[in-house]
Homo-oligomer: A and B are copies of this chain.
Amino acid sequence: MSVGAGTDTTEAHLEQRCRAAADAAAPLGATSHAVRARWLSVVADALDDAVDDLVAVADEETALGDARLRGEVARTTGQLRMFGDVIAEGSHLDAIVDHADPHATPPKPDVRRMVVPIGPVAVFAASNFPFAFSVAGGDTASALAAGCPVVVKTHPGHPRTSEAVATIVVDSLAAAGAPEGTFGHVSGFEAGSLLVTHPRIRAVGFTGSVAGGRALHDLAASRPDPIPFYGELGSINPVVVTPAAAAKEAASIAEGLVGSFTLGVGQFCTKPGVVLVPAGADFAEHVVAALGDAAGATMLDERIAAGFRAGLERLGSTAGVERLAGPAADLSSGRNGVASVFAVDAAVVADTPELVREECFGPAVVLVRYRDDEELGRVLDVAEGNLTATLWATEAEATDGHVAALLERLATLAGRVIWRGWPTGVAVNWAMHHGGPWPATTAPLHTSVGAMAIRRFLRPVAFQDLPDALLPPALQEPNPLHIWRRVDGQLVR
């Protein structure tokens, strides 16, 4: 039962998809990790095979360009294969064995714990990553790897790309023998709300705006049976430049900043939106010089471009904020967005904290000039949670206790702390954390990128005094899966 690209899903179709997902939960959860890893690899191969067609349609819809979109398909298929490797390794099962101790007071039973799939997962696709955070993106890959059926709510910004990817996922899973209902998708605003409140859905993965994420978070929390809502709601991604770094490397830092804040037309949740720079230094001039003659670029869709221009208006009309580059008035229309640079004194931020709180999604950056540590600290005090925080100090300052304290401060604000680098570009590996205190994410303990993202969709179960034959293989005494387990307190394999 396929629905045309961009057509809103009816309530009946949504019901059918959620039921199919619920029906698939038990057979999917019962499959071995080797089998699920193979399915993920089959999907990845099919997407790679179709890369030319997928990139062509995605470029028509998003204007992100051939190179970026090819890279994103590779990232997407790489994620699918990585989660196959993760479940094959088996540590994600968090297997723990505590043998009985009949002589303890009170006597201790044999208790063995592992994690099991949480059940059908709803995944909300993002506007700005038509592949890697969409239909077959990281949320879908980690949920399927966990053994959870997935129902994706597609993003209206790239309906044909979504449909093309969904068709490949459905067909390749079916050909590989996955249970019907392992994967499905729905479209439309209303379908999204129905999905979050559907009784069969057990968790939600979301990437999008604070407003949209907040609304869906509240829906998930208000269910008769609240479910986990893993929302990634964007970020300001503050960057701090120390006086020493500004004095020594202003030109090259400014060049790196321009590359980062304009990358992908600034449409990354990790875009550096606020840079704290020492007052009096000529850092701003270097940024404006590096930006050069900023022409407009095509943004993801008209709604996003209009939102960006509204953000520029808001920044430009805030008392105390100077516009250093970018259009003085809203001369653009359609999907056009022009890179813009603003500057403001730190003292102003205390009165208008939204300057370091409200994301302006697109190629805009605000330089906040601080005169001393106290002013720097006060700006960080009014900042909220972020996905990333970056420090540009000189290499010589690395042994400086002051810089160590500043990094610690930044770690309280963000889920990823970067030294002398840029936050755009999120490596997909075991160590990556893509999350942060509210409003960066709704569930600050969990990441939506990297291997640990699978934890969001796994629920622990302890088995007490079960005969070995009745235990899941991961917990059987001889460790037939040869996985790492904690046995009587010690990690062993």
Contact = CB atoms under 8 A, between A and B. Distances in A.
Contacts of A442: 226
Interface stretch (A277-285, A328-336, A369-377, A425-433): A425-433
A467 B200 CA distance: 47
A217 interface: yes
Interface in A342-362: none
A465 B420 contact: yes
A89 B490 CA distance: 9
B112 A431 contact: yes
A398 interface: yes
Interface residues of A, number: 81
Interface stretch (A12-20, A149-157, A183-191, A456-464): A456-464
Interface string A364-405: 000000000000000000001100000000010011000110
B459 A403 contact: no
Interface string A191-226: 000000000000000000000000001100110011
Nearest to A445: B459
Contacts of A385: 225
A113 interface: yes
Interface in A459-493: 459-467, 469-470, 484, 486, 489, 491
A464 B228 contact: no
A470 B438 contact: no
A271 interface: no
Contacts of A111: 427, 429, 431-432
Contacts of A419: 463-467, 470
Contact of A430 (B118, B225, B445, B486): B486
Contact of A461 (B414, B425, B429): B414
Contacts of A484: 491
A465 B418 contact: yes
Contact of A462 (B416, B438, B465, B486): B416
Contacts of A54: none
A106 B91 CA distance: 27
Given A398-B469, A427-B108, A411 B98 contact: no
A464 B108 contact: no
Contact of A429 (B98, B417, B420, B445): B98
Interface in A88-118: 89, 91, 94, 96-98, 106, 108-109, 111-113, 116, 118
A430 B97 CA distance: 8
Interface string A418-456: 111100010101111101011100111101001010011
A106 to B, nearest CB: 6
Nearest to A430: B96
Contacts of A455: 445
A71 interface: yes
A73 B421 CA distance: 52
Interface in A130-171: none
A294 interface: no
A443 B116 contact: no
Contact of A467 (B26, B98, B398, B437): B398
A415 interface: yes
Interface of A: 26, 30, 71, 85, 89, 91, 94, 96-98, 106, 108-109, 111-113, 116, 118, 217-218, 221-222, 225-228, 384-385, 395, 398-399, 403-404, 407-408, 411-412, 414-421, 425, 427, 429-433, 435, 437-439, 442-445, 447, 450, 452, 455-456, 458-467, 469-470, 484, 486, 489, 491
